[in-house]
Amino acid sequence: MPADNATEVLAVVNPDTGDPTGMLIPRSLAHTTGAWHRTVHVCVWAADDGRLLLQRRAAAKAACPGAWDVSVAEHVQPGETCEAAALRGLEEELGLVAVPGGHGNDATAALTGPSPPGHRRSVYDVPPVLDREVVETWHVRGVGLGARLAPDPAEVEEVRWVSLGELRREVGGAPERFTPWCLEQGRWQGWW
């Protein structure tokens, strides 16, 4: 699928509850009118030393091309649960297969969440993009640093592992290199 598929359909949601309103609109319209919709962020953590996997967004992305981002940021499709969207996003963006509920093994990573509980609101307003999202955060822990990832080049330019200390220093020195929602995620998680 090409980056920023404008024909993707999103469910408009109540920004306070995250509940669908019954209205469906194309992604392109949601991102120009500021219609609230659901997304999930997934943070992938290394088994060896607890480093976080970051992705650098592809140059073709409409919002924040080339910026460093959380491991996965995925829209929730109409009728899809946030957990299902997180699992789908891991596979589509990184080629990483995970299982729900924290029951992974040596061959399969485990998805847990949402953590922190509930959802957060996120607004990205840099014309022509006006993106308003209700976000849940999920985590995958215990991925080997040598795990075979297959990032989708339409979505992800590169990936890298960072410690939270390294990430704090980088954000402190050049926050513009990161997506605003990655910076928000750090505040929500208490990383800075």
Q: Does the residue 1 lie in any domain?
A: no
**Residue 5: Cβ within 10 Å count:** 13
CA distances from 178 to 6, 14, 36, 152, 159 (A): 23, 28, 22, 19, 13
The owner of tokens 């840099």 is 126
pLDDT score for 2: 46
89 occurs within a structural domain = yes
pLDDT tens string 164-174: 999 999 999 99
Q: What pLDDT was estimated at residue 1? A: 42
Which helix H or strand E contains 84, and what residues bound it? helix 82-89
How many structural domains does the chain have?
A: 1
pLDDT digit string, tens, across residues 132-155? 999 999 999 988 888 889 999 999
Please indicate, yes or no, if residue 20 is contained in any of the structural domains. yes
CA 59 – CA 4 distance, rounded (Å): 11
Q: Residue 144's pLDDT is what?
A: 86
What integer pLDDT is reported at residue 3 of this predicted model?
Answer: 61
Q: Is residue 49 part of a domain?
A: yes
Output the pLDDT for position 103. 55
Distance CA 67, CA 22 (A): 33
Question: Residue 93 phi/psi, 5° resolution?
Answer: -85, -35
Quote the domain boundaries for residue 87: 9-189
2 within some domain: no
Residue 147: predicted pLDDT: 86
pTM: 0.92
The verdict on residue 4 lying in a domain is no
Low-confidence stretches of the chain (pLDDT < 70) are 1-4, 6, 102-108
The CATH code of the domain that includes 158 is: 3.90.79.10
Q: Is residue 154 part of a domain?
A: yes
